[in-house]
Structure 1
Amino acid sequence: MAIRKIIYLPDPVLRLVAKPVETFDDKLQILIEDMFETMYNARGVGLAAPQIGVSLRLSVIDVIGDKSQQLVIVNPQIVSSEGTREYEEGCLSVPGAYDTVIRADKVKVQALDRTGKPFEIEAEGLLGECLQHEIDHLNGKLFVDLLSPLKRTMARRKLDKFKRNQARKS
């Protein structure tokens, strides 16, 4: 297992519609383990493959954070949603930026697990939010796209400040 480098806006990989996963081999299993390790290291609750520069429809999620409820979603799609709700969101690819976004209150997602077996999950709350956020990544969208132009500009400034601080530390 290895910690991978998380990429930041405006990296073009983050704006691509990720390619479907077609092969469930050892290489994919290593990628999944690397993604979990990278996510935990960054103190995140979800990570999409494009966030580490890999354009595949794959995300890992653990909203508890203790590794007891790890969720892998491969080639996911939201098949239904209900209601709307405000969520406070941030993103590992836009560090330092947090804001309120409106998402579906409940979602039903169909996906494949890490072995290629189909499953369906219904979720609300933090897990529902995380599923929507991660699936957005696979479609080339980020949470800042849901913000007003002014708030998007503010988020980019926070990201720029984060990058400057990181450069000083190097």
Structure 2
Amino acid sequence: MALLPILRYPDPRLRQPCKPIEIFDERLAALTDDLAATMRAAPGIGITLAHVGILERLTVIELDGPGSLRAYVSPVIDWFSPEMQRHTEGSVSMPGVTDEVERPARIRVSYQDLSGASQAQEADGLLAVCLQHEIDQLDGIFWIDRLSRLKRERIVKRYGKLKG
């Protein structure tokens, strides 16, 4: 497993939509392993190939420590609940800053597993937040885009100070 270089905000690639994955081979398996290692080293609980400059639709999420890694190939949200929840979010591409984001409380996601088989999953709680956050990234929507203009400007300013 190799650690991949993580793009840092405001890299323009973080705002580009990613292409669906069509080939399920050793390259995809190796990318998944490398992405998981990169996420753990960051540290984080979710990451996409977009975060490392590869504009393909793959995300890995690990909420419950080693052994709980989930890979989602070409995920798409099919359904959102009308109920909303707020949760503190941040990004491996903008380390050191977080803010509360409001998102639907429950979702249903269609995706493929690493063998290419179609899957569907309903999620709530932290998993729903993470899936929405990472799928946004795959769609070219950076997490701060979900904040008000004022909050977004404050986050960017705070991040600028942290970077030096």
What's the TM-score once normalised by structure 1's chain length?
A: 0.93
Percent identical: 38
The residue type equivalent to 1:139 in the other structure is: D
Cα distance in 1 between the residues matched to 2:151 and 2:62: 28
Cα displacement (A) at 1:28: 1.2
- Counterpart position of 1:76: 75
- Counterpart position of 2:3: 3
Cα displacement (A) at 1:50: 0.4
Cα displacement (A) at 1:5: 1.0
Matched, 1:151 2:151: yes
Cα displacement (A) at 1:67: 2.1
Cα distance in 2 between the residues matched to 1:8 and 1:141: 14
Farther-moved stretch of structure 1 (152-161 vs 111-120): 152-161
The residue type equivalent to 2:150 in the other structure is: L
The residue type equivalent to 1:85 in the other structure is: Q
Cα distance in 2 between the residues matched to 1:63 and 1:46: 8
How many residue pairs match? The answer is 163
Post-superposition Cα deviations, 1:34-65, rounded to whole Å, max 9, x if no partner, equal 0000001112000010000000011000111x
Cα displacement (A) at 1:93: 1.1
Cα displacement (A) at 1:81: 1.3
- Counterpart position of 1:163: 163
Secondary structure of 1:43 counterpart: coil
Post-superposition Cα deviations, 1:116-145, rounded to whole Å, max 9, x if no partner, equal 111111111111100000000000011100
Q: Are 1:95 and 1:158, in contact at CA under 8 Å, matched by a contact in 2? A: no
Please tell me the root mean square deviation across aligned C-alpha atoms, in Å. Answer: 0.9
- Counterpart position of 2:133: 133
- Counterpart position of 2:53: 53
* Moved segments of 4+, more than 2 Å: 161-164
- Runs (5+) with no aligned partner, structure 2: none
The residue type equivalent to 1:54 in the other structure is: I
Cα distance in 2 between the residues matched to 1:158 and 1:113: 38
Cα distance in 2 between the residues matched to 1:162 and 1:38: 21
- Runs (5+) with no aligned partner, structure 1: 165-170
Secondary structure of 1:8 counterpart: coil
- Counterpart position of 1:118: 118
